[in-house]
Structure 1
Amino acid sequence: MFKYAKRLQYPINIKKKDINMAKQLITQYGGIYYKKDIKK
């Protein structure tokens, strides 16, 4: 058995929330159905 640890290649530090950028990233990864995963 193995343990899966989801980590980035390098550490990040998020200073402030940017909702528009988050929506753009989700659409890039999730396609047009991203709104099903986001709670309003």
Structure 2
Amino acid sequence: PVLEILLYNMRHVQHHTGQLNLLLRQNVHQSPKWVFRAKDET
């Protein structure tokens, strides 16, 4: 059940991220660039 909850939460966050990007594109005509991975600190 813990894995199921984690997956559900990830989908939930992705859904709201998509909504935020849609609103930004519609109202500001911009959206954040997609980050594929973090920069290496070494």
TM norm structure 1: 0.32
More helix by share: 2
TM norm structure 2: 0.31
